[in-house]
Amino acid sequence: MSVAPVIKGWCPGALRPMLSGDGLVVRLRVPQGRLTPAQARGVAGLSQHYGNGVIDLSNRANLQLRGVDPERHEGLIDALRALALIDVDEGAERRRNIMITPFLQAGDDTDFLTQQLITAAEIHALPDVSSKFGYAVDAGPQPVLQGDPADIRFERSAEGQLLLCAEGAAMGKLISRDTAVAEAIALAAWVRAQGASRAARALKAGATLPSGFDHPRQSGLGTPALGHYPAGALVACAFGQMDAETLTALANLGPLRLTPWRVVLIEGATALPDLPSLITDANDPLLRVVACIGAPGCAQARGETRRLARDLAASVPQGQRLHLSGCAKGCAAPRATDITLTATAPGQYDLIRNARADAAPDLRGLTPAAIASYFRKSADAP
């Protein structure tokens, strides 16, 4: 029988890291989602000096350093502080859970509102709702972050006006640039007053939003494909994981903007880099698969994930997504995917269709060979 994973109820930070199977996971909430070349090179070197040189891109547009020795954590924090990548205290870090569209321009609404939110986090003006509670600043011409996890969102209406939106609500509230952050703080306080840790949970429990949330939201563009954009070039690494050498090579190309899609935007790049560890083809089958680190990297994982994910990637139909999860927590994909494989024991997986990793399985106890057979039969079906 599979043992249920431990739900810790919080996400790691830098000042409050989380112990995993390969050491501490130290998550950097990079200010404004942007690393200068010097910062990126510095992080790459520190990941080798204090950790195992493995760096994750999270689904909240953060960087994670893996394999950090707990006894050396304090030295790592001092070095990261010198790179201006550490908050003033753990309370500010916990509140500064801010996701930003990578297509911002200096001085635009996204840039302005992000800086205002960061300041509010530093002085603890953002309500302390939950370490998972987050903000999305997505105020470009059309939203691109609607498929990514956030509780409070800044978007733009079809008419070009700023909107304040709560996750799970179809309507937003018209706001101005000058009142936007105060309105967001009030909305976060409303969520906390409902006794909920997340905005969508408050609404699902029957709570009614305060007055003013009566303006239609604009449909988002969806996750952008890899390739060239006016802001630069979007590139990826398999499963959102890179080594220190790859981060150093990217840093040499220019400033980097992080995204919740586990891809990086190379600011101002006009050519796609030719690095063996990078994915630049938008049709690469590995982009159809999401997988957590699995065993033995995660102490909670019941089985291996990424080798199987690589083996199955080419079998996933274009336009669909496969999620390989080391346990029922489903950290790598918190929302439903077309097919999820949840490890229950070494070499055994439950198969779940159109749901999350913790949903009731459609098929139980499959071996990798049985899973491969399932995909072959699915491909042959009319």
- Name 154's bridge partners: 137, 164
pLDDT confidence of residue 21: 86
The answer for residues whose C-beta is within 8 angstroms of residue 321's C-beta and 6 or more apart is 288, 289, 290, 333, 337, 338, 339
Instruction: Provide CB contacts within 8 A for 191, sequence distance 6+.
Output: 127, 129, 133, 151, 166, 198, 199, 202
C-alpha–C-alpha distance, residues 271 and 348, integer Å: 43
pLDDT at 1: 41
The C-alpha atoms of residue 345 and residue 154 are separated, in whole angstroms, by: 42
Give the CA distances from residue 136 to residues 63, 117, 147, in Å, rounded to whole numbers and listed in that order: 17, 10, 11
According to the model, what pLDDT value does residue 70 have? 95
The answer to whether 140 and 156 are in contact (CB under 8 A) is yes
Give the three-state DSSP class for 324. Answer: strand
Rounded to whole angstroms, the Cα distance separating 212 from 168 reads: 16
What pairing do the DSSP bridges indicate for beta strands 256-258 and 63-68? unpaired
**What does the pLDDT read at residue 6?**
58
Q: Are 277 and 242 within 8 A, CB to CB?
A: yes
pLDDT, averaged per 10 consecutive residues of the chain (382 residues), comes to: 57 91 94 96 98 94 96 97 96 94 95 96 93 94 94 97 97 97 98 96 96 96 94 96 96 96 94 91 95 90 95 93 95 91 96 96 96 88 66
Task: Please state, in angstroms and as integers, the Cα–Cα distance from residue 252 to each residue in 36, 37, 38, 310, following that order.
Answer: 10, 6, 9, 29
Around Cβ 6, how many Cβ atoms within 10 Å? 10
> In degrees, to the nearest 5, what angle opens at C-alpha 46 toward C-alphas 253 and 244?
45
